Amino acid sequence: MGRALLSHLLLLSNQKSPRLCSSIVCHGRNQSSHFIRTEGATPSRLPLRTGANFRCNCTVSAPEAEASLSSSSPVKKRVVSGVQPTGSVHLGNYLGAIKNWISLQDTYETLFFIVDLHAITLPYDASELSKATKKTAAIYLACGVDTSKASVFVQSHVRAHVELMWLLSSATPIGWLNRMIQFKEKSRKAGDENVGVALLTYPVLMASDILLYQSDFVPVGEDQKQHLELTRELAERVNFLYGGRKWKKKGGKGGALFKVPEALIPPTGARVMSLTDGLSKMSKSAPSDQSRINLLDPKEVIANKIKRCKTDSFPGLEFDNPERPECNNLLSIYQLITGRTKEEVALECQDMNWGTFKANLTDALIDHLHPIQVRYEEITSDPAYLDQILSEGARKAADIAETTVNNVYQAMGFFQR
C-alpha cells in the first residue's frame, strides 16, 4: 500500500508540479536509498526504502500559488545568450545564434545581452566599443528579438556579472582554466605580450553570465561546449562547498545556490564556416573581410563575396563529403537562409554547377538580409528608443541577478550589506 501511494504521488508531482516531489517525506527501517531528479527542480533527496518493513508517512505541501493545479500556468524555463560587440555581426553569429533566439523567445523566458566585458579580453579599440555595443543591440532587434518576450541589455550595465565572477573565481581551480582549448588557441595567436589574465578567466565570466540568472538552458556552438561544461562543474562545486545545510546555517534558505544548466545545440547552423576556408569557423577576427558575410553588407558586396568564395572542382553539389568542406558549408548556408530541409536542398542542387548555385545563394542572402537592414536603419535613427530598451532590459536582469549574488555572498559568509 505504501509503495503504491508513493508511486502515485511521484507520478502526480512529475505531471503537475515537479516541486511537489521535494515535499514528500518517507520513513522506513531499511537504510538503502536513491535520489530522484525531477524535471525542472533540483535533485530531491527522496529516500526510497525497500524491504518487508517498509512504512511510508507521506505529506504533500505546496505554495499557495500551486494549490490549485488546474488554474496555475507553467513556469517557463530560462535561456540566456549573447554576442560580443567586436567587429561586425556576421552570418555565423546570425545563423549560429541570433536567428535561433527568435524561436526560443516564444517558448522560454529569455535574456539576450551584449557581452561587452568579454570584448576586452583581447586587444580592442576603446574608441569603438560603445558604438559597437549599441550597433549590436540594434541588430538583435532588427533580426526579430521581441522586447515584449525577451530582455535585451548590456552586460556591463548589470554589475552583478563582475561581482559573481570574482566570487566564482575563488572556487575555480587554476587547472580547470589551463585546460581550456580556446585559451590555448587565442593566446598562441595573440602572443604572450598581448595576453592578459582576463583571457584566462574568460570562462569564469561566462559561468557568471549563465549562473547569475539561474539559467536552465544555454544555446551554444560546438566550440563553446567546453566552457559550458566548466560552468556546470563550477555550479556543482559551489553548491557542494557553500549550499545546502551550510547555507541554511548562515540564515539562508538552503538547497542549491545555482541551477546546473544544459546545452541547447541547434542541429544545423551552430558552426558556419569561413568563405575562404571550409575548415575554419566564420569569425570577426579573421583578417580578411572576404571570409565572412556581414549582416549589414550592401548587396553588391554580398554578390562579390559569394562570387569569389572558395569552392572545388568536383561535379555536382553534395552535403557531408569530408573532401568537400566548402561545398557542405555553402549548401548549409543556403538551407538555413531559405528555410528548406537538407533533403530538399540536396535534391535541388545535386546536379547544379557552381555558377548557377552561387547566383541562387546570392539572391537568397540578399532577399533574407534586406528586411533586417531596413529595420536596423529604422532603429538606429531613434537613439532614445534603443537607450530605453537597454535600460529596461538591464533593470529586469538586475532584479534577478541581485537575488543570486546576494545569496552567494550570504552562503560564502560575507557580512551582509
- Enzyme catalytic residues: 186, 281, 284
Cα(10)–Cα(131) distance, integer angstroms: 53
Contacts of 75 (CB under 8 A, 6+ apart): 40
Grid cell in block for residue 308? 569569389
Q: What is the largest distance, in Å, between two alpha-carbon atoms of the chain?
A: 80
For residue 403 the three cell numbers come to 537575488
Amino acid at 208: S
Bridge partners, residue 112, by sequence: 81, 152
Instruction: State the DSSP code for 224.
Output: G
C-alpha distances out from residue 78 to 19, 42, 75, 212, 216, Å: 16, 15, 9, 12, 5
User: In the numeric block, which cell numbers belong to residue 150?
Assistant: 525577451
Q: How far apart are CA 215 and CA 114, in angstroms?
A: 17
Element (H or E) spanning 28, and its range? strand 27-28
Q: Which residues contact 24 (CB under 8 A, 6 or more apart)?
A: 6, 9, 10, 13, 44, 46, 58, 59, 60
Q: How far apart are CA 49 and CA 27, in angstroms?
A: 8
214: which 3 cell numbers? 539561474
8 A C-beta contact, residue 33 and residue 48 = yes
| 257, 238 Cβ separation under 8 angstroms | yes
Q: Please state the length of the chain.
A: 417
User: Residue 403 in 3-state DSSP?
Assistant: helix
User: Which of left, alpha, beta for 4 (phi over 0: left; psi -120 to 50: alpha)?
Assistant: alpha
Which residue is it, cell 552570418? 91
Helices 325-338 and 342-349: angle between axes, nearest 10 degrees: 120
How far is Cα 252 from Cα 159, in angstroms, rounded to an integer? 23
Q: Is residue 278 a contact partner of residue 260, using CB atoms and an 8 Å limit? A: no
